[in-house]
Amino acid sequence: MVTQTRSLLMSSRLVKIFLVVSLVAMTRSVAADDSIDAFLEEVKELVSRETEFTSETDAKEWLARTNVALAEQNNKAATASFNYATNITNENRQKQVAAALAMNRWSNAHVIQAKKYLSNSNNFAPGSDVIRQLKIFVQGEPFVSKDAALSRKLEETSSKLQVVYTDAHLTKNGKTYYIEPELTEIMSTSRDYDELLWAWLGWRDAIGPRAKPLFTEVVTMLNLVSRQNGFSDAGEAWRVSNYEFDNIESTTHDLYEEVRPLYEQLHAYVRRKLIQKYPGRGIDPSGGIPAHLLGNMWGQQWDSIMDVVTPYPLVAADNVTGPLQSYTAKRMFKMAEDFFKSIGLDPMTSTFWNKSMIEKPRDRHVDCHGSATDFFKEGDYRIKMCSVRTGESLNTIHHEMGHIQYFMQYHRQPSIYRTGANAAFHEAVGDTITLSVKTPGHLRAMGLLKTEKPKGDSGSENDEYKKDINFLMKIALEKIAFLPFGYMIDRWRWEVFRGQVTPENYNRRWWELRRLYQGLIPPARRTQNDFDPAAKFHVSYFIPYIRYFFSFIGQFQFHEALCKAAGHTGPLQKCDIYRSKKAGDLLKSLLSLGGSKPWPESMEVITGQRKFKTDAILEYFKPLHDWLKRANAQEHVGWKNHH
């Protein structure tokens, strides 16, 4: 009886498969790779519909197979993306889109199956890891869609928007200016108000109007897909898929409120220095700062204008740019690798060195924005970036290598868990390390800081204090200045996805938030035809951003914990964990978990705390905060229309 039912079932399956095969063969020219893959997926899904998706044992086997297949799928998608980003041609673009679509088909079929197991999981062992894997898998794929036409349109439109960003450039006197390295260099080194304005406006004009219709379409499609998958909108899909967080919006708000007093002090002090630097430009001493004067295209990190705002110019401030001029890109990467090795983490693999793109190639067009990719194949991890000889680049190298270290530490986990505890943890690894790298003690040991001879105030008992304040100012320009930016990008996008802000108000709302949180104003009139958000990489690439906000807070918690493990005593800002195996072991214990545990548990492993908290970052900057309050005694702290 059982046998007979089974064989009937088998034959009915075969009939269906045959039908699908003929149908697909008749209606589709099986040309592109993705349609073959898609076709196979349809067949597989059809076959698997006949199983019942009820037992935990089946689910386990299913997961074992799916984890293997997922690595294979990720490898294909990563390969196509990396090939495209490091050699932008139309052909590579087509391949990238095809690979993304194939991935979508595969994921969609498997998410459906995972959901079936989940809906039957009430009889699985309580707290079963099977349930967690299924959940993480489903959560990680909030934009899969059954609708092939919609997916294709979504991929193609996103891809076109990315092209607008990567192709954007300005020309002046026969010279071409891309965002990296040319415009980035102007923004960070030029002190000519009008030249800065030219670069700032030109970059936005080159992107905004072209990007806006594409961006708007992508928003609509992402919302559609998100709703099909049970989310209220794409913003919610992002929040859930990256965080396992309740109340991420109010948590962000509360954390930001805790650091706001420090930010406002920094802002007031920098504003005064800019008024002195650019007199007669109408900068309002109690208003917002024109957004193009902060050393960065987006006013997101201000450390490049350290020369303008150094608290004590007469005691030497750190500047690694000079010594870096004799470095090659490879040597900068080796320096980062050496730090990770010194705490007992792994060296980069030979594939890493052979296949990474560490400099801008001369023979082809590439996407320069720094990134790190896990290829889900033994030893295959790569970075792509266009490094130059600046401290900023050296940071990015450590940042990206932090991602690679995370990939390597969790590579033995099942594919579903080969991910960060949450997205912010992934962003925080390399940055945590740079908090040690940037200490004057470390830089001097590396030969990146000449033993400085104070130019004035020599021998004063305050010299050490002044150097500390200079140092903290430099780090604050990078880390504290970033926080409101890291917050407002997704504040704006959450509102966009929710439909609270409509396309005709996109740019107006953008600037409202820029002013409200960052205290920045546009240096020229903006209209609703402008679309300044798209001038930021992560907006045009639809990469969630709130991860960086959390990372910039969490990295100070991590730094504090690693310093404690390293036996550091004294002020947190002076800690350098170089060569501390104990710190390295603690870091490894976090990284090797990947996504296998809810992030508060991973957080607890390293810090003993289960939350993102501002105590460490506030303690780190306490001396500077006190100094700023005194320095700003006569200032209007804050800016008009603030609240």
**Looking at the annotation, which residues are catalytic?**
400, 538
The residue of the chain with the least Cβ separation from ligand ASP equals 370
Of 295, 293, 262, 194, the C-alpha closest to 521 is 293
For residue 142, the one-letter residue type is: P
Residue 620: CB atoms within 10 Å: 23
Q: Nearer to ligand ASP by C-beta: 427 or 530? A: 427
Tokens of 399: 């940042």
Question: What does 370 interact with, of ligand ASP, Zn ion, none (CB < 5 to 8 A by kind)?
Answer: ligand ASP
Q: 381: which strand partners?
A: 374
Residue 143: phi and psi, rounded to 5, are -110, 15
Question: What does 204 interact with, of ligand ASP, Zn ion, none (CB < 5 to 8 A by kind)?
Answer: none
Of 205, 426, 390, the C-alpha closest to 301 is 390
The residue of the chain with the least Cβ separation from Zn ion equals 427
- Count of positions on this chain that bind Zn ion (CB under 5 A): 1
Q: 383: which strand partners?
A: 372
Question: What does 573 interact with, of ligand ASP, Zn ion, none (CB < 5 to 8 A by kind)?
Answer: none
* Site track 372-411 with Zn ion (rule: CB under 5 A), x = hit: ----------------------------------------
Question: What does 396 interact with, of ligand ASP, Zn ion, none (CB < 5 to 8 A by kind)?
Answer: ligand ASP
Looking up tokens 């978990």, which residue turns up? 593
Query: Is 601 a known ligand-binding residue?
Result: no
Residues 408-447 contacting Zn ion, CB under 5 A: 427
Query: Is 243 a known ligand-binding residue?
Result: yes
Q: Nearer to ligand ASP by C-beta: 371 or 419? A: 371
**Between the CA atoms of 620, 622, 516 and 285, what dihedral angle is there, to the nearest 10 degrees?**
-130
Residue 110 CB, shortest distance to Zn ion, in Å, is: 27
Q: Nearer to ligand ASP by C-beta: 109 or 324? A: 324
* Coil vs helix vs strand at 348: coil
Q: Nearer to ligand ASP by C-beta: 399 or 467? A: 399
- For 120-180, what is the HEC assignment? CHHHCCCCCHHHHHHHHHHHCCCCCCCCHHHHHHHHHHHHHHHHHHHHCCEEECCEEECHH
Q: In whole angstroms, what is the distance from residue 452 CA to residue 450 CA?
A: 5
* Binding residues for ligand ASP (CB under 6 A): 369-371, 396, 399
Residue 392 CB, shortest distance to ligand ASP, in Å, is: 8
Residues 483-502 contacting Zn ion, CB under 5 A: none
Q: Nearer to ligand ASP by C-beta: 538 or 613? A: 538
The gap from C-alpha 599 to its chain's centroid, in whole angstroms, comes to 17
Of 576, 338, 625, the C-alpha closest to 440 is 576
Residue 371 CB, shortest distance to Zn ion, in Å, is: 7
Q: In whole angstroms, what is the distance from residue 356 CA to residue 71 CA?
A: 20
Residue 639 CB, shortest distance to ligand ASP, in Å, is: 27
**Which bin fits 459, alpha (ψ -120 to 50), beta or left (φ > 0)?**
left
Query: Is 253 a known ligand-binding residue?
Result: no
Q: Evaluate whether 480 touches 553 at the Cβ level (below 8 Å).
A: no
Q: In whole angstroms, what is the distance from residue 336 CA to residue 341 CA?
A: 9
Residue 369 CB, shortest distance to ligand ASP, in Å, is: 6
Q: Nearer to ligand ASP by C-beta: 54 or 189? A: 189
Residue 402 CB, shortest distance to ligand ASP, in Å, is: 10
Write out the binding residues for Zn(2+).
399, 403, 427
Contacting residues toward Zn ion, per CB under 5 A: 427
Write out the binding residues for chloride.
243, 547
Write out the binding residues.
243, 399, 403, 427, 547
